[in-house]
Structure 1
Amino acid sequence: MKKSIEAYLFQLTSQLNKVNRNEFSAHALSEKVGLNRSTVSSYLNTGFRKGILLKIKTYPVSFLHKQAFQENYFEVSKNEYDSFEELFAENQTQLVTIDPLEQVIGATGSLREKINQIKTAIMYPNGGLPIMLLGSSGSGKTFLASEIYEYAVAKNILPSDAPYISHNCAQYYNNPELLSSVLFGHTKGAFTGAETDREGLLDIADGGILFLDEVHRLSDEGQEKLFTFMDTGEYSPIGDNSIKKRATIRLIFATTEDIQSSFLPTFLRRLPVIVHLPSFHERPQAERLQLIDQFFIQESNILQRRVSVSSKVLHFLLDANLEGNVGKIKNIIKFACGNAYSKQWQNEEIVVRLTDIPVEHLMHPFSSGKMINNQKNMKQRKYLPNTTYQSNLETEERKRVKTFFNRLLDDFQKIDAHQLSAEQFILFATESVILLMDEFVFYTPDDKETSFFSYMIHNIRSTFQFMNENYGFNQDGNKVLSIANYLYAKENQDFLTNHPKWENLRVPLFQFLEESMKDELWLAKRFLNYLSIQMDSEFLDEDIVFIAFYLKSMNLSSIESEIKAVVLAHGYSTASSMANVANRMLQKNIFQAYDMPLGITIDEIEKKVLQYMESYRVDEGLILMVDMGSLNIVAQHLANKIQGPLLIIDSFNTPLLLEVGNLLLQHATIFEIHDKIMDTLQIKKQMAMPKVNKKKAIITCCYTGMGSAIQIKEIMKKSLGNASNMLTILPYDYQKLKDHKSYELPFQMYDILAIVGTENPELENVPYFGLDKLVNGEMIDGLVDLLSDYFEVDIEKLKQELIFNFSLRKMVETLTILDADRVLHSVREAIDELERSLEWSFDANRKYLLYLHVSCMIERLLRKEEVDDQEDIESYKRQHWGTMEKIHRSFQQIEKEYTITISDLELRLLNDIVLN
């Protein structure tokens, strides 16, 4: 029954413009399908919740079939509308935001660079730059020129009523003087037959665009007059050089000829933008098929019939070695459709077969020899009338990828609207990617070009090998096949360029990924960067996002930003041999080697190091060990380009490598290594820091881990408002700060103003602001005074924001999605009970930390998230069983209230806070 309702609604929606809108109500539908209204209403609302149907909240409520609507009209951005007017107004909004040049077939593929050139020319100040379009006849020069005009109008570069004049100079083949007259105008008596003054094309096109096709027909004199106009904006009509006219015109030229032999060098020098357009058969197969689809859709609209095209016709058009170009293909399609229509005009569907194509074209050989072999792979295609775009022509895989990106942007907006948490957003996106990639493992495209696909597989496998060798990124056949099929199905098309939300959400989305999925984002960029070099093909921002979520789904272990060490030595294998010995003795691959020829220059060494830094994370620092006496020069060259500390060691040997390697294995900082390496070896060493003005920063830390430190950072940012843009708020590991003090990296990279946290790591000369003191207001004034010394802030407003955001209730609201009042009430009773059981009172800091930790613990347990295993938990329990038991009893009411179980691992964390 559900299927019959859905099928009927699909058919009805396809004829939306021809039927009464009341036909889409539950009552009307129930009468048509013969079911009672309540049953139909239930089915319709279920379909709406599943995203199959659109709901129009008119009276009565109407339902449309979403797929049928999008196939016949336009893509929608949501599933619910207040009225039909709102629904159709969305199409007008989409039309306003469309970039005409991005709609050109190939704009994200073979014409990508050409379109960028054209946009540069049109956007250039003071009237833009002249454009020359080169290409064989029928390659689309005239069409592209008209789209350039539409782009200029859409971007408000030209007013909507600006003239667009297109003129083909070929019609003056035998009379170039007359062409000059048409172009510049003429005065009475200028030549025989010039009986009156007459305006030229420059007069008519003033304020707009003049497109001159086959411009090579201009005489040398005409070219000279034209480039004089290009230089000065002035021209004279033929017959009277004393008359000076002015015009502001953007010029577009086109020619099929070789420009070096057809134009004066002085004319060519005035053409900074020369765009070469590929012929039809130079285009990728996906673009050729898009062009064919477009022409058949146009014919379907003209004939007002569904048009069905056989696979043999499609292969003929794709592969036949025809003279001519896109225009020839278009004319063949027009004739074939007309031929089929003349025989089948009484049918609702016109079927186009190979016999409908002109016989003289069928005699041409096929360029690739693939037609016979591939006929079974290409399916028949159907085209619908009254449309300009038909999503039914896209593969299901492309539709699913597009749906993924649409939902991704919708969900990302829900974070700001507090409808989704960041964790939920990542979870939903990751699950969607997993489902897609599982499907791609078994995806076998109908039109897959075996040689190209094999080439793609080879390069992706090579990229995985590179990632495995350098980052421990394991590969398997499914991963290779999934990514290959994803990229093949997309055909390098940008799904988000024209998405109405992408322009505003792109930067915030990448900032979010940088903060929440830093490792996966970095790996995705490395993966696609390496693959793009291998395949000589650029990848898109959306591909980076997709691959990042795919990597997230693999649950990769966090990539540690460790100190890296590189050995550079002269000789065929000197560096490699020494690094290999040290790595084998240390039983870990610590050193990477570069063997250098004797004549290598400082610039070449610098290039090697920079290439390494682009390929590896060196946030914690880089140790460069060289065997040459150019330490100071190397340091000076790199100081302006490094992002982290650089330790350069001159004159090294195996014992020194082992010493440095052992310190790295002990997780020493780069500054400790600088201080500890053996001075008795009489080595030279130098520390270089990035030559940047250190940005002011505040460190946040928490005894219980990084999670709370990150949350404190968020509260600080919210409190500071715009002032937070002037400094960095940096969550950092408490234990590292306590153990290594100012040796830690933040103190080398930033000017640390203060530390805010739950426990003081006790660093000299760095003010500490305890969270408990901020909560009770005791240290608010001190923090505000400190910040006002460095930044222009509204002191009273900042105080109010800090007081509000650091209140305990607000903290819990920020840290969890649970009801803050209920959580705090439950935690207070548990802590009160614990104080009674232990017979002592907790100080303010300890009590605050317990409130904070337990609130987060409850949510964590509700999400089924476990803390890390602890190997010594059994011995710890034997040592502290008394207090752990009392803690557990005190928190039993919380276990009952939230239906959770507090494990021994969680009790240990609570015990650590209680005992400090």
Structure 2
Amino acid sequence: MRETIENYLYDLTKKYSQADKTKFSASSISEQVGLNRSTVSSYLNEAFRQQTLLKIKTYPVSFLHKKAFTETFFETQYLEYNSFEELFAEAPSRTKEKDPLETVIGAFGSLKEKINQIKTAAMYPNGGLPVMLLGASGSGKTFLAEKIYEYMVEKQIIDFSAPYVAHNCAQYFNNPELLSSVLFGYAKGAFTGADTNKEGLLDAADGGVLFLDEVHRLSEEGQEKLFTFMDTGEYSPIGNDSIKKKANIHLIFATTENIESTFLPTFLRRLPVVVSLPNFYERPQPERLQLIDQFFIQESNILQKELSVSSKVIHFLIDADLEGNVGKVKNLIKFACGNAYAKQDDNQKINIKLLDIPVENLLQPYPTVKMDSQYNINERVYLPNTEIQPNLETSERKKLKTFFTRLLEDYKKIESGSLSPTQFISFATENVILLMDEFIFFTPEDRETSFFSFITYNIRSAFQFMNENYGFDQDGNKTLSIANYLYVKESQDFLFDNADWANLKNSLLQFLEEQMKDEVWLARRFLNSLSLHMDNEVLDEDIVFIAFYLHSMNLALTNSNNIKAIVLAHGYSTASSMANVANRMLQKNIFQAYDMPLGITVNEVEKKVLQYIENYQVERGLIVLIDMGSLNIITEKLMTKIQSPLLVIDSFNTPLLLEVGNLINNSQTIFEISEQINDFLPIRKQLATPKTDKKKAVITCCYTGMGSAVQIKEILQKSLGETEETVTVLPYDYQKLKENKRRELPFQMYNVLAIVGTENPEIDNVPYFGLDKLVNGELIDDFVQIMVQKFAIDGEALKQELIFNFSLKKMVENLTILDADRVLNLVSASIGEMQRVLEITFDANKKYLLFLHISCMIERILRKEEVDKQEDIQSYIKSNRLAMEKIHRCLQNIEEKYTIKISDLELRLINDIIFN
């Protein structure tokens, strides 16, 4: 008998909570083990003398199992304590207390928002806010109420010794008046049988928590008395309204009923926090599996046996129709374990099969039992007396956790300076590549069954979306790797209890946003698209992992910089139908459609546009086509919130969509599109540019094309050094700048401080710095002065960098991989010959431009890189044949030395430099 008592107390101590203190008395234990109180008390005291138990000298006296307490909490110094508070005051200090509410399964998943609501209610000043828990029987309302109490104690909202009073009102189904008397107490003579004054639940719960389950049993009069107490903190016992009592209580209510039909509106208005709990089968499948694991672990501890549970049992519990009741699932598990234990009690390992579940439960669910669980779960093994269950985690999941652990450790090294950002990204990328390579060859046992097929199908759909919108190509390896990654994770947030992840997550994501902007952006878009198909949450850890995976591919997006366009129209499918027709005819997914209800407000339309801007790259501009004139005020609302040009077109039809789509396909700027559609149809439109503070920029350009403009940018960035973090150096097409001036995109997006190039596009109020003037030092001081006025930089240091980097020899070294001295000697001879043959003397600027252009041309030809096509090259040759032949003869020394052939396209560019 003593062994029975000790085993019961061992299990009870392992599950100790503040809410259960009364369960540790001799009388309570005697009821549970079926022995009389005096016998139990005798055994308890004997075990205490033999140092097996701890004694708490409360009234009544309580006992805890010493070994279980040590395993669960800490090593005690003594065997006897005056109170539970004295015992726990001995606990070693912890750097971070465990949040009881965060231990609830689903606290970081399906219950995340609900837990946050509960914490808000608990922490609210002046006594907190009352909480109503809604949910079916067995959904966990009572369990959650106990956790709320533990949370309040942990956060010192209430005292450690504060009472927790739980009362189920269902027993008063036929006598709601009696429930009111139990709640508020009653005065002598209040009703027949009221022979003395009696305190109620409010008295007992003063200073702590009162949990009223099935509170809908309260009469309307009782509800009125209760909400009066919620308003004033005062109440009167039944039968004597002249007595006014005060109590400070945190109220938690629970009901299985529809609150709108069972409670007074005046009562409901006093409930600012109403939390609806999902039943078992409304939970995501990973959470259902966690709950099942938890119940089996509890049974393993009770039976002190290793439990091996067949996959069919797990699938049955996850998917069968058991009324969605968590409590019923728990009881089925308890019965199955007990049934198997009775047959195999001599075995150290208990095997639990489907037939250990009661037959009526096996038969009743069919044919509604699904048995097609998304995950092919293998046999699961549960070990007693251990918090870590190694058999429940696959080696692949362990590798993923190890990856994130190392990632966080490396990230912390950036702050200490022992690792550079570049090294961190390189190490992480290599580790992701190794994992993904391994995942390609990882073969799930159910690769051909429902879930894996479901994942791969939806990944292909997400890739198709990414390809249509951003030019992101898919292949079999990408699909397989990501499918296996998601399969291994089982869509679970397995970092929710990682302290480093919680502390560093936001900082890490911000770091990656800065260092790997495109990859993080693409990862978000891809996972958002995937989540819509798979109906699951986008997790931050997945964004990080997929971003590194995309980084390993050296992505080049073919469509990400296009102007974006959306169609907004009232009606069930007006916008989507017209956008679909236009996209099909254009053979490209250009228009995104939003079908709007007739009563939609301008604020709601604005919200949709802002959501689109957040989800898509719109640096080159966004075109919004709308079907009602009143909606064009959206332009004014967005002007202070956008970071790129916005063209709002008031009204549209299919021909207009096709015209706009063709202009976008032809790489027209948003300003050119705005002008050209005026000629197409008489429409109303508004073109807006950002009114927010613009980032500062320096534009680089070159008469001969974008290639040289990019190279000038690189040299300028090298000169600016750290300053480039605050100023954008932007290469841009010279011809467009020359023709369109300030209408070009850079002037809408940036505050342009200066233009550096080989030819002046002549834009008013924007200083131009010719490369020749920077090389000879003539304008270096002026350029430095502009930079010093706008940024906190060392002007003298910048000047020295510019003088060094913009010397002719240094420029050639920076622009090519060729031997600078040899190139300059050959080019110098060719330029001299051109002046003699053409009978022209080049000025310094033209000579400098020819040096740079011909040097870059030599390397371009050696690399077999082609210049832009020229549609009119044949007619140009006819008009300029003689001059081009002379120039070609002057370049023969270069052709011979480098064994190259200079094409007519290249000769034309040189001819233009000389004679333009």
Scaled by the length of structure 2, what TM-score is found? 0.64
- Does 2:225 correspond to 1:225? yes
Q: Do structure 1's residue 212 and structure 2's residue 207 form an aligned pair? A: no
Structure 1 residues 605-614 or 148-157, which shifts more? Answer: 605-614
**Any idea what SS the aligned residue of 2:271 has?**
coil
Q: 2:865 aligns with which of 846, 866, 870?
A: 870
AA in 2 matched with 1:538: E
Q: Distance in 2 between matches of 1:654 and 1:330?
A: 60
Paired residues in the alignment total 739
The residue that corresponds to 2:118 in the other structure is 118
CA gap 1:225/1:886 in 2 versus in 1, 3 angstroms: farther
Structure 2 distance, partners of 1:406, 1:234, is 53
Give the conservation status (yes or no) of the 8 Å contact 2:183–2:202.
Answer: yes
In structure 1, the residue corresponding to 2:520 is in which secondary structure? helix
Closer/same/farther in 2, CA of residues 579 and 137 from structure 1, 3 Å limit? closer
User: After alignment, is 617-626 or 226-235 more displaced?
Assistant: 617-626
Within the candidate set 723, 729, 736, 1:716 is matched to 723
Question: 2:527, 2:538 within 8 Å by CA — same for their partners in 1?
Answer: yes
Q: Distance in 1 between matches of 2:889 and 2:123?
A: 75
SS at match of 1:382: strand
* 1:471 corresponds to 2:470: yes
Q: How far, CA to CA, are the matches of 2:513 and 2:303 in structure 1?
A: 53
Q: Is the 8 A contact 1:133 1:274 kept in 2?
A: yes
**What's the offset of the Cα at 1:512?**
2.9
In the other structure, the counterpart of 2:57 is: none
- 1:704 partner SS: helix
Asked whether the 8 Å contact 2:642–2:692 carries over to 1, the reply is no
**1:291 shift after superposition:** 1.7
Deviates most, 378-387 or 437-446: 437-446
| Mapping of residues 353-364 of structure 1, within 5 Å | 353-354=352-353, 357=356, 364=363
Deviation of 1:393 (Å) = 0.6
Give matches, 1:768-779, under 5 Å.
none
- Contact preservation (8 Å) 1:320, 1:365: no
1:710·1:731 contact (CA, 8 Å) conserved in 2? yes
1:249 matched residue in structure 2: 249
Provide the rounded CA distance (Å) in 1 between the counterparts of 2:373 and 2:625.
Answer: 58
Alpha carbons 1:236, 1:244 under 8 Å: kept? yes
For the structure 1 residues 119 and 426, does the alpha-carbon distance in structure 2 shift closer, same or farther, using more than 3 Å as the test? same
The answer to whether the 8 Å contact 1:567/1:579 transfers is no
Equivalences for 1:259-278 in 2 at 5 Å?
A: 259-260=259-260, 262-278=262-278
> 8 Å contact 1:713–1:730 — kept in the other structure?
no
Report deviation, 1:441.
Answer: 4.4
CA contact (8 A) 1:703 1:735 kept: no
* Residue deviations 1:577-607 (CA, integer Å, cap 9, x gap): 9968995xxxx9596497999x999979989
CA contact 2:719–2:801 (8 Å) conserved in 1? no
Please list the CA deviations of residues 840-871 of structure 1 after superposition, one character each: whole Å capped at 9, or x if unmatched. Answer: 9xxxxxxxxxxxxxxxxxxxxxxxxxx98734
1:145 aligns to what? 145
Is the 1:208–1:248 Cα contact (8 Å) retained in structure 2?
A: yes
Q: Which amino acid aligns with 1:495?
A: F
1:435-454 alignment, distance < 5 Å: 435-441=434-440, 443=442, 445=444, 450-451=449-450, 454=453
Match of 1:529 in 2: 528
Distance in 2, matches of 1:341 and 1:878, equals 99
The amino acid of 1:286's aligned partner reads P
- Distance apart, 1:193 and its partner CA: 6.4
CA distance in structure 1 between the partners assigned to 2:417 and 2:893 by the alignment: 42
Query: Secondary structure, in 3 states, of the residue corresponding to 1:501?
Result: helix
Question: 8 Å contact 1:877–1:884 — kept in the other structure?
Answer: no
The residue number in structure 2 matching 1:297 is: 297
Equivalent in 711, 736, 742 of residue 704 of structure 1: 711
Retained in 1: the 8 A contact 2:640–2:690?
Answer: yes
User: Once the 2 structures are TM-superposed, how far is the Cα of residue 212 of structure 1 from its aligned partner?
Assistant: 1.4
Question: Distance in 1 between the 2:480 and 2:789 partners?
Answer: 59
Query: What letter is aligned with 1:100?
Result: P
Q: Any residues of structure 2 matched to 1:296-695 within 5 Å, and which?
A: 296-315=296-315, 317-318=317-318, 325-338=325-338, 349-354=348-353, 357=356, 364-367=363-366, 378-441=377-440, 443=442, 445=444, 450-451=449-450, 454-558=453-557, 559-564=559-564, 592=591, 616-623=616-623, 635-636=635-636, 639=639, 642-647=642-647, 669-671=669-671, 677=676, 688-690=687-689, 692-695=691-694
Pairwise CA distance, 1:694: 2.7
- Contact 1:582–1:654 (Cα < 8 Å) also in 2: no
**Counterpart residue identity of residue 716, structure 1:** T
1:186: Cα distance to partner?
4.0
Query: Which of the pair has more CA radius of gyration?
Result: 2
Q: Classify the secondary structure of the residue corresponding to 1:253.
A: strand
Change (3 A) 1:550 1:186: same
Task: Give, in whole Å, the separation in 2 of the partners of 1:154 and 1:710.
Answer: 55
Cα pair distance change 1:880/1:351, threshold 3 Å: farther
Change in CA separation of 1:515 and 1:601 when aligned onto 2, cut-off 3 Å: same
Q: 1:555-578: per-residue Cα shift (whole Å, max 9, x none)?
A: 331354233467999999997799
Deviations 1:71-91 (A, max 9, x none): x999xxxxxxxxxxxxxxxx9
- Once the two structures are TM-superposed, the CA of residue 125 in structure 1 deviates from its matched residue by 5.1
Residue 134 of structure 1 corresponds to which residue in structure 2? Answer: 134
Partner deviation per Cα, 1:2-53 (whole Å, 9 max, x = no partner): xxxxxxxxxxxxxxxxxxxxxxxxxxxxxxxxxxxxxxxxxxxxxxxxxxxx
User: Aligned pair in 2 of structure 1 residues 539, 627: CA closer, same or farther (>3 Å)?
Assistant: closer
Deviation at 1:467, TM superposition (A): 2.4
Deviations 1:300-353 (A, max 9, x none): 334444333344544554456557933333344445545555666665x33133
How far 1:648 moved relative to its partner?
5.1
Uncovered stretches (5+) of structure 2, i.e. residues with no partner: 1-70, 74-90, 701-708, 806-812, 829-861, 869-883, 899-909, 911-916
Change in Cα spacing, 1:229 to 1:759, as seen in structure 2 (3 Å) is farther
* C-alpha contact 1:569 1:575 (8 A) present in aligned 2: no
Q: Residue by residue, what CA displacement relative to the aligned partner does 1:55-81 show, whole Å, maximum 9, x if unpaired?
A: xxxxxxxxxxxxxxxxx999xxxxxxx
Residues 313, 601 of structure 1: alpha-carbon distance in 2 compared, 3 angstrom cutoff? closer
Q: How far apart are residue 529 of structure 1 and its match?
A: 2.5
Q: Secondary structure at the residue paired with 2:274? A: strand
Contact 2:139 2:279 in 1 (8 A): yes
Q: TM-score, normalised by structure 1?
A: 0.64
Task: Confirm or deny: 8 A CA contact 1:216 1:255 kept in the other structure.
Answer: yes
- Pairwise CA distance, 1:294: 1.0
* Alpha-carbon shift at residue 293 of structure 1 (Å): 1.4
8 Å contact 1:110–1:284 — kept in the other structure? yes
Deviations 1:873-907 (A, max 9, x none): 9x9999999999999xxxxxxxxxxxxxxxxxxxx
Q: Please give the alpha-carbon distance, in whole angstroms, between the structure 2 residues aligned to 1:492 and 1:600.
A: 38
Quick check: 1:732 aligned with 2:730? yes
SS at match of 1:400: helix
CA distance in 1, matches of 2:444, 2:192: 66
Aligned equivalents of 2:435 and 2:107: distance in 1? 26
- Taking the aligned partners of 1:181 and 1:317, their CA distance within structure 2 comes to 42
Letter aligned with residue 148 of structure 1: I
Structure-2 separation of matches of 1:752 and 1:251: 61
1:375 & 1:545 partners in 2: Cα distance? 25
Q: Report deviation, 1:414.
A: 3.0
Alpha-carbon distance in 1 for matches of 2:719, 2:246:
65
Instruction: Indicate conservation of the 8 Å contact 1:698/1:730, yes or no.
Output: yes
The amino acid of 2:730's aligned partner reads Y
What is the CA distance between 1:290 and its match in structure 2?
Answer: 1.7
Q: Secondary structure at the match of 1:474?
A: coil
Distance 1:552 1:204, change over 3 A: same
Q: 1:554 to 1:195 in 2, by over 3 A?
A: same
Give the conservation status (yes or no) of the 8 Å contact 2:784–2:799.
Answer: no
1-structure distance, mates of 2:371, 2:594: 54
Go from structure 1 to structure 2 and tell me whether the alpha carbon gap of 1:601 and 1:267 turns closer, same or farther (over 3 Å shift): closer
Deviation of 1:224 after TM superposition, in Å, equals: 1.8
CA contact (8 A) 2:737 2:744 kept: no
Structure 1 portions without partners, runs of 5+: 1-71, 75-90, 719-727, 788-797, 813-825, 841-866, 888-911
**Separation in structure 1 between the aligned mates of residue 768 and residue 393 of structure 2, nearest angstrom:** 60
Q: Which amino acid aligns with 2:386?
A: T
